[in-house]
């Protein structure tokens, strides 16, 4: 049950892959902490961590169990018969127990989407699983519940149950980095009772599962499967996840309770080292706030390779911090609990291995967690950033560059954000700056490593005028989106090159892969890629997404925007539709298997090379949804798009600077469509099925000399109620292409359609013209 950022998806990166170290296998000492430790381990982070990973069954606290029921939200653990042992104390408190015997784990997801999900992964829509062993970890009232229900006594033949405790704790702990689930850790360090509950269930005849309740998360009920190592570290497959009963719809975002940082003053040194690399050391002065009472121990995220040298409060007093080697968390002990309205100012000095050099490129290993951040990485803050670099480097960051000076061989520049933002980043390199600007659009500076490309030219093909080509797309797409979606507060825009295969977007700045500088592909993909990153200024940054369910409002919208820009740039539709069809092939190939767009990063969970599913569903199918709305809102008589463009502008204007949810977007679509659109979202955003249409047509001459087209559409692979309004185009006339366009309603297994008569003989009938529906279309004979 690690926090979202620990297990979660990249926020705006186009792709993110990193291999993480394996979990350690060896156990620490097997010493059992004293049952009634008179001196509760002073609640230091390290003290607690050692106690928790060394938890062992207590020989003096064993009980026989018959038909004990533990009900937690939609899950029920029925301990039919067996033995239960309390585990050794943590911070003087009983926080764990193990059971062996026979029992049943019941779990019934609360929503249709989650039941579908369970059916996909577990082949049933609710669980009723017999189990033989159980590990319980808790900060709730479980200890009292057990004490009240059972009679505890000594058991000299205590079973160590390592085969249950160790794999169970792997869901919560990483021994190497001395990291434990931050919510449990906070509850124990702060001596809090909370609803936190975790059960590792060793099922009979099936893989183990982990069930948990976390009151600090909006979707606090979670069922997880196996653990895989990936990304930031490792990720347990989320089988099912939803809000606790009676709490649906609470909060925007993913966490309910955490310390945030509302302002940063960062002074960053990026000194050239003797061997041509760049070091990293920083002083961060942060204003810590909270929306509910938290602490005194609070956790922040900080890139694992950065070491904290010292930390002090505003008055200079030394601050207590804890940080495991290579841990993604920085723990800070405040002088007291922080409450809403309180502010604490903490200064942290830290440094470390943040920047690698490749040829003449520098790679910043963590583009976002290079400063301490809130656990969900999503609180908004203002930044006052000062960078000190070698004079040979060019640097770009977020916000307005308010000052720059050179002394000796060091350049000092200062960047200030005019309003709060979610992620701050920077990039530096042996760059040449190239300025380009479209009329009435913000000026763009492209930062490219010309020298690196000279070296790369010896190995790879390379286009000429790299900076001009990339710069043109950045500047033109900025202008295009400004016209289509509305103005942004940005005054200058930076596009910098990175030695990676992805792009990333920050306020007023994008990082673009060196590959897109090297060449521009024929298929339009590079234009889409460059414009996708630019479009995040509107979608993802300007309008943030409410939770992981809504991330398609960022990635799907940015992908659609890139495609729309390509169509506008080329002045024809060929590549626009060609790319849509290519994405459709990927989507059809996966079918309903990954689940709906609304699952966000959780579409990951369905197979091992799962990055593709995230791209396919959230990016590409997300773009398809926007495209389908575009076609649905198109006036087929005039081919005008006013309704669609009006809607996109309105959506941007209404939610700029805020978080928007899928439901917010649905309401905006309905406002501009003037009708209920829930069915469309149910099918394509909350649902995963994609229709196949088997289409036959017949052309008849009417008695009065006109022509009539009949269509017979069989719909497959979707629920019976599935419906769409499908564009049908007839090509009329002999030589010149005269078009008659219609929109027909297709619903249910069989739809018979008679189009209004036309004056000339149709030469061609195109069903699902303009790629109006994400569907597989097959042409069949009439009978
Ligand atoms: Zn993106």
Statement: residue 28 has pLDDT above 60: no
Cα 743 to ligand 1 centroid, rounded to whole Å: 33
β 493-498/776-779 pair status:
unpaired
Distance in Å from the first CA to the final CA of the chain: 56
Rounded to the nearest angstrom, the distance between the alpha carbon of 502 and the centre of ligand 1 is: 9
Radius of gyration over every alpha carbon of the chain, rounded to an integer in angstroms:
29
| Cα 233 from chain centre | 15
Calculate how far, in angstroms, residue 402's C-alpha sits from the geometric centre of ligand 1.
28
Q: Is the pLDDT of residue 4 over 70?
A: no
Q: In this predicted model, which residue has the larger pLDDT, 408 or 1?
A: 408
Average pLDDT over residues 731-746: 88
* Centre of ligand 1 from the C-alpha of residue 536, in Å: 7
Q: Is the confidence at residue 587, as pLDDT, over 70?
A: yes
Question: Please, where are the H alpha helices in 634-674?
Answer: 642-655, 662-673
Q: How far is the CA of 83 from the centre of ligand 1 (A)?
A: 52
Contacts of 466 (CB under 8 A, 6+ apart): 448, 453, 517, 518
Tokens representing residue 759 in the block: 């004056």
Q: Give percent of the chain with pLDDT exceeding 70.
A: 92
Q: For residue 697, what are the contacts with CB-CB under 8 A and spacing of at least 6?
A: 709, 710, 711, 712, 765, 767, 782
C-alpha 537 to ligand 1 mean position (Å): 10
Give me ligand 1 centre to Cα 663, in Å.
21
**What does the alpha-carbon distance between residue 736 and residue 391 come to, in Å, rounded to a whole number?**
64
Is residue 279 within 8 Å of 393, Cβ to Cβ? Answer: no
- Contact criterion met (CB below 8 Å) for 257 and 343: no
Both structure tokens of 333: 């002990």
Contacts of 78 (CB under 8 A, 6+ apart): 67, 68, 69, 103, 104, 105, 106
**CA distance linking residue 612 with residue 181, whole number of Å:** 28
Ligand 1 centre distance from Cα of residue 247 (Å): 31
Q: Calculate how far, in angstroms, residue 553's C-alpha sits from the geometric centre of ligand 1.
A: 10
Ligand 1 geometric centre to CA of 442 (Å): 21
Helix, strand, coil shares of the chain, percent, nearest 5, are 25, 35, 40
φ, ψ dihedrals at 480, nearest 5°? -60, -45
The residue that leads in pLDDT, 275 or 364, is: 364
d(CA 261, ligand 1 centre) in Å: 25
User: Looking at residues 236-246, what average pLDDT do you find?
Assistant: 88
Q: How far is the CA of 353 from the centre of ligand 1 (A)?
A: 26
What are the backbone angles phi and psi of residue 101, rounded to the nearest 5°?
Answer: 150, -135
Tell how far the Cα of 534 is from the centroid of ligand 1, in angstroms: 9
**252 CA from centroid of ligand 1 (Å):** 21
> Which residues is 311 bridged to in the sheet?
348
Encode pLDDT of 636-668 as tens digits.
999 999 999 999 999 999 999 999 999 999 999
C-alpha separations of 591 from 394, 586, 700 in Å: 46, 9, 37
What is the 503 CA–ligand 1 centroid distance (Å)?
Answer: 7
User: CA–CA separation, 593 vs 611, rounded Å?
Assistant: 14
Whole-number Å distance, alpha carbon 463 to ligand 1 midpoint, is 25
678 Cα: distance to centroid of ligand 1 (angstroms)? 26
Confidence of residue 229 (pLDDT cuts 50, 70, 90): low
How far is ligand 1, taken at its centre, from the CA of residue 135, in Å? 40
CA of 336 to the centre of ligand 1 (A): 40
- Please report, for residues 248, 377, 597, the alpha-carbon distance to residue 110 in angstroms, rounded to integers and kept in the order given: 10, 28, 19
Tokens of 471: 């710069």
* Span from the CA of 344 to the centroid of ligand 1 (angstroms): 34
Residues within 5 Å of ion ligand 1 by Cβ?
14, 555, 558
CA distances in angstroms from 658 to 56, 78, 436, 655, listed in the order given: 47, 44, 30, 5
The Å distance, Cα 326 to ligand 1 centre, comes to: 28
Residue 770 contacts by C-beta under 8 Å, 6 or more apart in sequence? 577, 631, 634, 727, 729
- Residue 20 in tokens: 């993480």
More confident residue, 358 or 284: 284
Asked if pLDDT for residue 498 goes beyond 60, the answer is: yes
Q: Separation of 529 CA from ligand 1 center, angstroms?
A: 9
Overall average pLDDT of the 676-686 stretch? 98
Poorest-confidence range of 3-17, 142-156, 563-577, 672-686? Answer: 3-17
CA of 116 to the centre of ligand 1 (A): 28
CB count, 10 Å around CB of 574? Answer: 10
Sort 8 into a burial class: Cβ within 10 Å, 0-12 / 13-18 / 19+. Answer: buried
Q: How far is the CA of 531 from the centre of ligand 1 (A)?
A: 10
Token pair in block for residue 34: 């004293």
* Distance from Cα 21 to the centre of ligand 1, integer Å: 27
Ligand 1 geometric centre to CA of 319 (Å): 38
Could you read off the pLDDT of 157-174 as tens digits, one per residue? 888 999 999 999 999 999
Tell me how far the alpha carbon of residue 506 lies from the centroid of ligand 1, in angstroms: 10
pLDDT of residue 563: 98
Per residue in 73-117, pLDDT tens? Answer: 999 999 999 999 999 999 999 999 999 999 999 999 988 999 998
In this prediction, residue 246 has a pLDDT band, given cuts at 50, 70 and 90, of confident
pLDDT category, 349, cuts 50, 70, 90? very high
Longest Cα–Cα distance of the chain, Å, equals 101
Rounded to the nearest angstrom, the distance between the alpha carbon of 535 and the centre of ligand 1 is 8
Ligand 1 centroid – CA 565 distance (Å): 15
State the distance from the centre of ligand 1 to the C-alpha of 15, rounded, in angstroms: 8
Is it the case that residue 556 has pLDDT exceeding 50? Answer: yes
Its pTM stands at 0.92
- Half-sphere exposure at residue 341, Cβ-oriented, CA atoms within 13 angstroms: 0
CA of 9 to the centre of ligand 1 (A): 12
Whole-number Å distance, alpha carbon 533 to ligand 1 midpoint, is 6
pLDDT in tens, 205-222: 999 999 999 999 999 999
* Residue range 232-257: mean pLDDT, rounded: 77
Backbone angles phi, psi at 562, to 5 degrees: -60, -40
pLDDT at 234: 61
- pLDDT surpasses 50 at 17: no
Cα separations in angstroms, 134 against 14, 98, 326: 40, 6, 30
Q: From the CA of 516, how far away is ligand 1's center (Å)? A: 15
SS3 (DSSP) at 562: helix
Angle among Cα 492, 498, 395 to the nearest 5 degrees reads 45
Ligand 1 mean position, distance from CA 114 (Å): 26
pLDDT at res. 626: 98
Q: Say how many Å lie between the CA of residue 504 and the centre of ligand 1.
A: 7
Question: From the CA of 14, how far away is ligand 1's center (Å)?
Answer: 5
Sheet holding 738-747, edge to edge: 738-747, 723-732, 764-767
User: How far, in Å, from the CA of 617 to the mean position of ligand 1?
Assistant: 13
Return the structure tokens found at 505: 């977007």
Nearest Cα neighbor of 253 from 263, 243, 238 is 243
Query: How close is the Cα of 622 to the center of ligand 1, in Å?
Result: 12
Task: State in Å: Cα 458 to ligand 1 middle.
Answer: 31
Flag whether pLDDT at 560 surpasses 80: yes
Mean pLDDT of the chain: 90
For the segment 18-46, the average pLDDT, to the nearest whole number, is: 39
Highest mean pLDDT among 2-11, 115-124, 713-722: 713-722
Distance (angstroms) between ligand 1 centre and the Cα of 294 equals 33
CB contact set of 749 (below 8 Å; sequence gap of 6+) = 714, 715, 716, 720
Kindly report the number of other CB atoms within 10 A of residue 130's CB atom.
15
Which of 134, 39, 46 is CA-nearest to residue 89?
A: 39
Alpha-carbon distance of 298 to 183, in angstroms, equals 9
β-sheet bridge partners, residue 498: 513
Tokens 């499967």 found at: 225
Cα distance between residue 60 and residue 635, in whole Å: 77
Q: How far is the CA of 554 from the centre of ligand 1 (A)?
A: 7
Of all residues in the chain, the percent with pLDDT exceeding 90 is: 81
Distance CA(419)–CA(413), nearest Å, equals 19
For residue 341, the CA-to-ligand 1 centroid distance in Å is 35
Give the pLDDT band (50/70/90) at residue 37: very low
Report d(CA 146, CA 150) in Å as an integer: 6
Rounded alpha-carbon distances, angstroms, from residue 359 to 278, 352, 462, 514 = 13, 21, 16, 12
Span from the CA of 532 to the centroid of ligand 1 (angstroms): 6
Q: Ligand 1 centroid vs 632 CA: distance in angstroms?
A: 25
> If you measure from the C-alpha of residue 10 to the centroid of ligand 1, how many angstroms do you get, rounded to a whole number?
9
> Where would I find the H helices in 191-322?
none
In the reported structure, the alpha carbon of residue 13 is separated from the centroid of ligand 1 by a whole-number distance in angstroms of: 6
Query: What's the 775 CA to ligand 1 centre distance in angstroms?
Result: 25
pLDDT digit string, tens, across residues 697-718: 999 999 999 999 999 999 999 9
Specify the higher pLDDT residue, 61 or 1: 61
Tokens found for residue 208: 């183990």
Q: Does the pLDDT value for residue 508 go beyond 90?
A: yes
Ligand 1 centroid to 557 CA: how many Å?
9
């Amino acid at each position: 049950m690690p926090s979202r950022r620990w297990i979660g998806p990249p926020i705006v990166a186009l792709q993110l892959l990193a291999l993480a170290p394996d979990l350690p296998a060896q156990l620490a000492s097997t010493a059992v902490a004293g049952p009634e430790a008179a001196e509760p381990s002073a609640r230091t982070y390290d003290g607690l961590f050692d106690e928790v990973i060394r938890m062992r069954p207590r020989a003096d606290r064993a009980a026989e169990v018959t038909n004990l029921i533990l009900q937690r939200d939609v899950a029920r653990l029925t301990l039919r018969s067996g033995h239960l042992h309390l585990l050794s104390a943590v911070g003087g408190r009983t926080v764990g127990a193990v059971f062996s015997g026979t029992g049943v784990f019941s779990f019934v997801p609360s929503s249709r989407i989650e039941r579908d999900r369970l059916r996909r992964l577990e082949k049933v829509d609710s669980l009723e699983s017999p189990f033989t062993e159980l590990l319980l970890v808790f900060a709730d009232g479980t200890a009292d519940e057990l004490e009240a229900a059972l009679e505890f006594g000594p058991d000299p033949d205590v079973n160590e149950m390592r085969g249950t405790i160790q794999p169970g704790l792997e869901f919560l702990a990483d021994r190497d980095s001395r990291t434990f689930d931050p919510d449990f850790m906070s509850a124990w360090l702060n001596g809090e009772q909370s609803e936190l509950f975790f059960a590792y269930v060793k099922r009979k005849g099936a893989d183990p599962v982990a069930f948990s309740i976390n009151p600090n998360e909006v979707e606090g009920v979670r069922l997880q499967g196996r653990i895989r190592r990936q990304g930031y570290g490792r990720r347990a497959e989320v089988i099912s996840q939803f809000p606790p009963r009676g709490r649906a719809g609470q909060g925007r975002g993913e966490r309910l309770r955490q310390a945030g940082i509302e302002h940063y003053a960062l002074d960053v040194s990026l000194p050239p080292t003797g061997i041509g690399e760049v070091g990293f050391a920083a002083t961060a002065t942060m204003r810590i706030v909270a929306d509910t009472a938290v602490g005194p121990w609070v956790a922040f995220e900080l890139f694992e390779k950065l070491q904290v040298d010292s930390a002090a409060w505003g008055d200079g007093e030394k601050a207590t911090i804890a940080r495991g080697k290579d841990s993604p968390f920085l723990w800070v002990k405040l002088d007291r609990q922080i409450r809403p309205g309180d502010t604490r100012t903490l200064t942290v000095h830290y440094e470390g291995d943040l920047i690698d050099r490749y040829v003449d490129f520098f790679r910043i290993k963590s583009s976002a967690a290079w400063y301490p951040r809130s656990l969900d990485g999503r609180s908004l803050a203002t930044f006052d950033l000062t960078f000190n670099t070698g004079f040979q480097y060019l640097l770009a960051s977020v916000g307005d560059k308010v000052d720059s000076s050179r002394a000796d061989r060091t350049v000092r520049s200062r960047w200030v954000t005019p309003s709060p933002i979610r992620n701050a980043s920077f990039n530096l390199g042996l760059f040449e700056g190239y300025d380009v600007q479209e009329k009435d659009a913000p000026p763009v500076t492209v930062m490219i490593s010309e020298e690196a490309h000279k070296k790369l030219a010896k190995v790879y093909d390379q286009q000429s005028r790299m900076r001009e080509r990339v710069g043109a797309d950045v500047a033109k797409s900025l202008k295009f989106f400004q016209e289509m979606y509305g103005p942004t507060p940005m005054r200058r825009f930076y596009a910098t090159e990175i030695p990676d295969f992805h792009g990333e977007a920050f306020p007023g700045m994008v990082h673009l892969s060196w590959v897109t500088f090297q060449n521009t592909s024929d298929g339009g993909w590079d234009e889409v890629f460059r414009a996708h990153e630019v479009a995040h200024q509107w979608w993802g940054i300007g309008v943030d997404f409410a939770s992981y369910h809504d991330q398609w409002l960022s990635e799907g919208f940015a992908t659609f925007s890139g495609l729309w820009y390509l169509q506008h740039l080329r002045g024809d539709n060929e590549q626009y539709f060609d790319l849509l069809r290519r994405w459709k092939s990927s989507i059809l190939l996966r079918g309903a298997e990954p689940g709906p767009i609304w699952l966000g990063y959780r579409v990951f969970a369905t197979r091992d090379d799962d990055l593709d599913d995230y791209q396919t569903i959230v990016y590409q199918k997300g773009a398809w949804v926007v495209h389908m709305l575009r076609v649905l809102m198109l006036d087929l008589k005039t081919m005008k798009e006013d309704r669609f463009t009006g809607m996109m502008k309105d959506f941007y204007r209404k939610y700029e600077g805020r978080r928007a949810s899928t439901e917010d977007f649905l309401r905006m679509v309905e406002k501009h469509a003037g009708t209920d659109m829930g069915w469309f979202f149910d099918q394509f955003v909350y649902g995963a099925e994609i229709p196949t249409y088997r289409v036959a047509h017949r052309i008849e001459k009417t008695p009065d000399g006109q022509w009539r087209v009949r269509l017979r559409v069989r719909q497959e692979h979707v629920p019976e109620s599935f419906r769409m309004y499908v564009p049908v185009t007839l090509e009329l006339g002999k030589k010149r292409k005269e078009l008659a366009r219609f929109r027909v309603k297709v619903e249910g297994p069989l739809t018979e359609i008679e189009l209004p008569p036309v004056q000339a003989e149709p030469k061609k009938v195109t069903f699902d013209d303009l790629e109006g529906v994400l569907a597989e279309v097959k042409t069949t004979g009439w009978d």
